């Protein structure tokens, strides 16, 4: 799409927005026939209520499913123009599937809402999300108000996940998964975050812009099984922490400092022991060397880690600034210059 058109779309908030609902699907043949109708009903209702424009779509992202998911999506697309689909060449995981959908949609619509296809996220929260967008927000996070339907184990591990992330220096919205509205304007900036290890929940807040949250109750999966057992959740947390925070490296550095200090105390203790004659010969010198080496080594690893952390952040080549407002029309000024 030509740049001018994109720009007009990004700045024009007066006309009704085109909404793309992004739905990642992996082996969901059981639940898709149930939820696809719910999505369609919602989009038609939003259109009728004049909140979104008629060109709005439901974009399914097939994440390399091994069952009949793609077949179902293709059939849906043939039945109703609101349904469209893309398919990844292989399974890449939930985060990549959502990203693929967002990048596919960014030049075609004004707003996207990403939602799981299993009916767990309350579709009715979309109304409040679109309202918040119409009120001027560019990002709207869907936050689970309670987890009554989750088992104690799932609730405990899932909430522990958010606490761990925050403690480790990753800014995430508590109890918000990947149910959120993002405007195409934010997506145009988001595409400049070129990292390969993606953790959308931590990256979207980095882009900034006006945001808010809407609350909804998390329901049970309508059919099929969860693809996020504890093992995958831990892997996601580990990925999120290591791709967004260098705090673990800082912790090695702090540990090194503490050990170095303790070693210093140990050395004094050994020397005092030597002079008071309370030790066997050779003990003091051995303890001194062990303490010294231990302390120095951890401290040095910490310093090296600090540099590796910097290199790591540099390799991500994230944008260093993002402009959200201008008092003038930049594209217009550019055209004026090229005409003269």
- Binding residues vs ligand UDP (CB under 6 A): 24-26, 28, 63, 91, 93-94, 97, 116-118, 120, 226-228
The minimum distance between CB 212 and ligand UDP, in angstroms, equals 23
The minimum distance between CB 335 and ligand UDP, in angstroms, equals 42
The minimum distance between CB 218 and Mg ion, in angstroms, equals 9
Partner in contact with 228, chosen from ligand UDP, Mg ion, none, beta carbon below 5 to 8 Å by kind: ligand UDP
Q: Which is nearer to ligand UDP, 74 or 279 (CB)?
A: 74
Q: Which is nearer to ligand UDP, 227 or 318 (CB)?
A: 227
Q: With CB under 5 A, what is the number of residues at the site for Mg ion?
A: 3
Q: Which is nearer to ligand UDP, 119 or 305 (CB)?
A: 119
Three-state SS annotation for the chain: CCHHHHHHHHHCCCCCCCEEEEEEECCCCCCHHHHHHHHHHHHHHHHHCCCCCCCCEEEEEECCCCCCHHHHHHHHHHHCCCEEEEECCCCCCHHHHHHHHHHHHCCCCCEEEECCCCCCCCCCHHHHHHHHHHCCCCEEEEEEEECCCCCHHHHHHHHHHHHHHHHCCCCCCCCEEEEEEEEHHHHHHHCCCCCCCCCHHHHHHHHCCCEEEEEEECCCCCCCCCCCCHHHHHHHHHHHHHHHCCHHHHHHHHHHHHHHHHHHHHHHHHHHHHHHCCCCCCHHHHHHHHHHHHHHHHHHHHHHHHHHHHHHHHHCCCCCCCCCCCCCCHHHHHHHHHHC
The minimum distance between CB 114 and Mg ion, in angstroms, equals 13
Indicate the angle between helix axes 69-79 and 32-48, nearest 10 degrees: 30
CA–CA dist 198, 64 (Å, integer): 18
Q: Which is nearer to ligand UDP, 129 or 137 (CB)?
A: 129
Partner in contact with 155, chosen from Mg ion, ligand UDP, none, beta carbon below 5 to 8 Å by kind: none
The minimum distance between CB 112 and Mg ion, in angstroms, equals 19
In terms of C-beta density within 10 A (0-12 exposed, 13-18 middle, 19 or more buried), how is residue 67 classed? middle
Partner in contact with 97, chosen from ligand UDP, Mg ion, none, beta carbon below 5 to 8 Å by kind: ligand UDP
Q: Which is nearer to ligand UDP, 89 or 338 (CB)?
A: 89
Q: Which is nearer to ligand UDP, 63 or 122 (CB)?
A: 63
Partner in contact with 332, chosen from ligand UDP, Mg ion, none, beta carbon below 5 to 8 Å by kind: none
The minimum distance between CB 217 and Mg ion, in angstroms, equals 14
The minimum distance between CB 224 and Mg ion, in angstroms, equals 9
Site for Mg ion in 111-170 (CB under 5 A): 116, 118, 120
Q: Which is nearer to ligand UDP, 59 or 137 (CB)?
A: 59
Partner in contact with 94, chosen from ligand UDP, Mg ion, none, beta carbon below 5 to 8 Å by kind: ligand UDP
Residues at the interface with Mg ion (CB under 5 A):
116, 118, 120
């Amino acid at each position: 799409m030509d740049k001018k058109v994109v720009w007009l779309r990004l700045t024009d908030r007066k006309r009704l927005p085109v909404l793309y609902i992004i739905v990642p699907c992996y082996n969901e043949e059981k639940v898709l026939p149930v939820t696809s109708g719910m999505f369609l009903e919602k989009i038609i209702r939003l259109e009728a209520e004049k909140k979104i424009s008629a060109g709005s779509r439901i974009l399914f992202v097939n994440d390399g499913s091994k069952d009949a998911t793609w077949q179902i999506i293709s059939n849906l697309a043939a039945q109703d123009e609101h349904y469209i689909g893309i398919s990844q060449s292989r399974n890449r995981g939930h985060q990549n599937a959502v990203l693929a959908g967002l990048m596919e949609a960014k030049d075609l619509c004004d707003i996207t809402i990403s939602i799981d296809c299993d009916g767990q996220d309350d579709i009715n929260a979309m109304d409040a999300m679109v309202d918040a967008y119409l009120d001027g927000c560019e990002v709207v996070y869907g936050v689970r108000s309670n987890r009554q339907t989750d088992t104690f184990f799932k609730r405990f591990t899932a909430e522990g996940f958010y606490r761990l992330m925050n403690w480790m220096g990753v800014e995430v919205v508590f109890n918000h998964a990947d149910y959120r509205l993002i405007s195409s304007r934010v997506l145009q900036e988001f595409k400049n975050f070129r990292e390969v290890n993606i953790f959308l929940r931590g990256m979207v807040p980095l882009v900034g812009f006006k945001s808010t949250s809407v609350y909804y109750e998390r329901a049970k999966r309508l059919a099929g099984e969860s693809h996020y057992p504890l093992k995958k959740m831990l892997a996601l947390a580990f990925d999120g922490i290591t791709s967004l925070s260098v705090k673990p490296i800082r912790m090695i550095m702090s540990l090194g400092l503490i050990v170095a200090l303790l070693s210093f105390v140990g050395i004094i203790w050994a020397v005092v022991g030597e002079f008071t004659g309370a030790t066997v010969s050779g003990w003091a010198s051995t303890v001194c060397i062990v303490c010294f080496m231990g302390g120095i080594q951890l401290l040095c690893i910490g310093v090296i880690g600090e540099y590796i952390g910097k290199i790591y952040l540099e390799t991500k080549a994230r944008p260093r600034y993002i402009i959200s407002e201008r008092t003038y029309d930049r594209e217009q000024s550019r055209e004026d210059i090229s005409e003269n």
